[in-house]
Structure 1
């Protein structure tokens, strides 16, 4: 850490997350006792990066084709022949379960005349990979199996007509794909996430809710809206009671991985007078009231954070038939939000266990599909729990639709996401109208925004 890194938070009124955790004196996993503070510069970010079609096309050709992206969960393809189609711009990949139960991925394009085997973002099951246009067929291992009237294509015989493969990597129950045959291994790309999140056992989760929201903004602007807590004081003032926006921690681990760490049950310095411990509990349980109810009481001499962790551990464990006793208080309630370049954000904690994904809609730099998944622990069979539920079917929202209408999603939390996404059309329009050439960022609180652009530039330059 350089001297400039160390002084990034000089002048901050709030105690840091690490100072509060040390003061509490309760157990904290090593991954959450560390900081990786970085100064990445202070130059403006050019607005053309959000609007220019040529820049978007370079992203599509030079970045999206060379990065690891999670396509689906293994639960989406549990049986032989199950498939899931992942689209990014004009690129399309079909992920499937082969006969040996391995996971394979192929370019979703017939080698005859190019027709997609299956529609974008579809899933289902098949015994073989068959083109719906003329019936050319491959087996699940990608080997050419049958051509109708093959006497008329003698020039195919002796040629390699197996389907082009796409790299596959598995971690935490996620299926990642990478269209670059020479890409670094997934484990190296994700580091240090697998080490940090080992205790969370993300492979043992099921998708309880899956939301898709259409947005009128660039994919980067959509992602950037969720990587800093700075906007809370203006966009979500109702959350300041139980979440210290100024005291949030921002870590840069490498080009691909960054983190935001936010303590719950700690009020913003903008809240005066300081709320009671009971008020902190009432606010910080937003998003879990369907499980917790409205009668969580803080006892004499107890802190809101200890009470929240204790009750969530019990109630969530009971609700999902699983033992959560191994999790520390900070793993239960605090937000440890990991960013995975280019388009994923992962929340492993038990209180709001979510993952985000941001993808351009088609080849339009002004439209994005934002996905939000809630991933709960699978029932524990040793405690009498049943089978894990199948992944939730996505619920699609148009831009004007509210998150509060989603079945199984806490409406209080839905209102928060309406506030978040409600800013993005205005931001995209303002960027296009601007006479100023770029965005001016905060050095510490918006460092994850800057990291996204610096990493993107490296991929574009190497291309």
Structure 2
């Protein structure tokens, strides 16, 4: 993908004057008709993530991405490039593979047709004697989709005529060019079915107004106060909240100390007891941490800091890529969230959680933030779970994503109430309505 380097100035994500004022009505979350319009005008047009480039390092390695009733294969070619094909045999439409793996040829289990990694038919039974239209081998090819890469992810689109990936993602590649995303190691990998519409997830990650209520463990280490975080959004629907990774001055730990921030300081040779007040500890300590990281990153083995600036090595830009991908960029971690609609039920979705960490010299474990402490190595299998009121993922109890999923079903139920007609949003929730307005543009045919 050709990467642009200029970042256009964002719109203020706390300024409602940037909005048209489209209502966020409840039927958007449960209407089958609305879900069909999303399929027709959004999902078949946008760019999707099939998986990670690290999952397919060698020729013949392939990913399978199932989305609603569609299935796509992304396969590494002999020249190192990646091609994407519909997972549908060109003979009679049979799905050929069910999960990611590695092959020399795709072998249809129904009639034995074999398709090369390049999608060209290599073998068909009775090819020379039983096809009045001529031998199909070497002539037929699997239906190919446009495919590209960015950020260590493999992307594809079902739209043959839409924008390039670079244009679709703009300005995200330029904005995050300093992060060596390709080097991140996925240490936790979950796909969780929840009883809520997929838009609940994007709504939730488009604001931090709920944090103080739903995630009381966050303010001691990420300052999301209304006047501390920076809220930004761009015309294509992407947006972010840039959050300083320092203690909030509004939510102080009981007893006055802050073990988490103190430990971070000590790791970078800063004495947390040198500050005269809690305010100095939080604010000046945060500045001292920037300076210490810039001075010591090389000797401490944090080589991924080599291209990152002061903000990037101490803060967390929590970023939504329209319409359904969220990435939390932290100094030492990338946390990938994605929601995808259920194949038939608009009141269900799949929630993907990929916890990734940048390798640090001498470290063989990592605090994954969302999934607890993990070995610093690639996990090879996805954990498929059903939330089931939390019973399906007991190991994530108390984690931020668990707390979000606990809210999902009651939020979904509330969309059916006659008492709900539209959201009454705070200014720091401006990006929620903006997301729905951009979504409206897509399903009404004003974007493609």
When the two structures are superposed, what TM-score results if normalisation uses the length of structure 1? 0.79
Paired residues in the alignment total 413
Give 1:127's aligned residue. Answer: 104
Q: Is the 8 A contact 1:358 1:369 kept in 2?
A: yes
Taking a change above 3 Å as real, the CA distance of residues 65 and 31 of structure 1, as seen in their structure-2 partners, is closer
2-side partners of 1:450 and 1:176: how far apart?
Answer: 26
Residue 447 (str. 1) matches residue 435 (str. 2) = no
Conserved in 2, the CA contact under 8 Å of 1:357 and 1:370?
A: yes
Assess, with a 3 A threshold, how the Cα gap between structure 1 residues 199 and 133 changes in structure 2: closer, same or farther.
same
1:142 has 2:119 as partner: yes
Note the residue ranges of structure 2 that are not aligned, 5 or more in a row: 1-5, 276-280, 363-375
What is the rounded CA distance, in whole Å, between the counterparts of 2:26 and 2:155 in structure 1?
30
Partner of 1:459: 442
Tell me the distance in 2 between the aligned counterparts of 1:32 and 1:265. Answer: 27
- CA shift digits 1:151-193 (9 cap, x unpaired): 3332364795211111111112211111101111111111111
Q: Determine helix, strand or coil for the equivalent of 2:101.
A: strand
The match for 1:42 is 21
Provide closer, same or farther for how the CA distance between residues 292 and 352 of structure 1 changes in structure 2, counting only shifts above 3 A.
farther
1:328-407 equivalences under 5 Å are 328-378=309-359, 389-400=377-388, 401=390, 405-406=394-395
5 Å-filtered alignment, 1:259-298, equals 259-267=240-248, 269=250, 271=251, 278-279=257-258, 282=260, 298=272
Cα separation, 1, equivalents of 2:382 and 2:290: 30
Q: Could you tell me whether the CA contact under 8 Å between 1:41 and 1:443 is conserved in 2?
A: no
SS at match of 1:230: coil
Shift of 1:95: 0.5
Q: Give the gaps of 5 or more residues in structure 1.
A: 1-29, 382-387
Matching of residues 2-151 of structure 1 within 5 Å: 36-37=12-13, 38=15, 39-119=18-98, 122-150=99-127, 151=129
Larger fraction in helix: 1
Between 1:109-118 and 1:239-248, the stretch displaced more is 239-248
Asked if 1:188 corresponds to 2:176, the answer is no
Q: Give the one of 206, 210, 221 matched to 1:227.
A: 206
C-alpha contact (below 8 Å) 1:129/1:138 kept by paired residues:
yes
- 1:404–1:415 contact (8 Å) kept in structure 2: no
CA distance in structure 2 between the partners assigned to 1:444 and 1:153 by the alignment = 66
Aligned residue in 2 for 1:244: 224
CA-based RMSD? 3.5
1:155–1:222 CA distance, 2 compared to 1 (3 A): same
Q: 2:271, 2:8 → 1: CA distance?
A: 28
> Aligned-pair distance for 1:108?
0.7
1:373-401 CA-to-partner distances (Å, cap 9, x unmatched) read 122224679xxxxxx94454322332134
Tell me the distance in 2 between the aligned counterparts of 1:314 and 1:152.
73
Q: Is the 8 A contact 2:327 2:335 kept in 1?
A: yes
- Is residue 198–residue 349 contact of structure 2 (8 Å, CA) maintained in 1? yes
**Secondary structure at the counterpart of residue 330 of structure 1:** coil
Change (3 A) 1:342 1:265: same
Deviation at 1:457, TM superposition (A): 1.6
Tell me how far 1:251 sits from its aligned partner. 1.0
Please say if residues 264 and 284 of structure 1, whose CA atoms lie closer than 8 Å, have aligned partners that are also in contact.
no
Alpha-carbon distance, 1:339 to partner: 1.2
Moved more, 372-381 or 356-365: 372-381
Alpha-carbon distance between aligned partners in 1 of 2:301 and 2:386, rounded to the nearest angstrom? 31
Contact 2:206 2:239 in 1 (8 A): no
Structure 2: how far apart are the matches of 1:48 and 1:76? 38
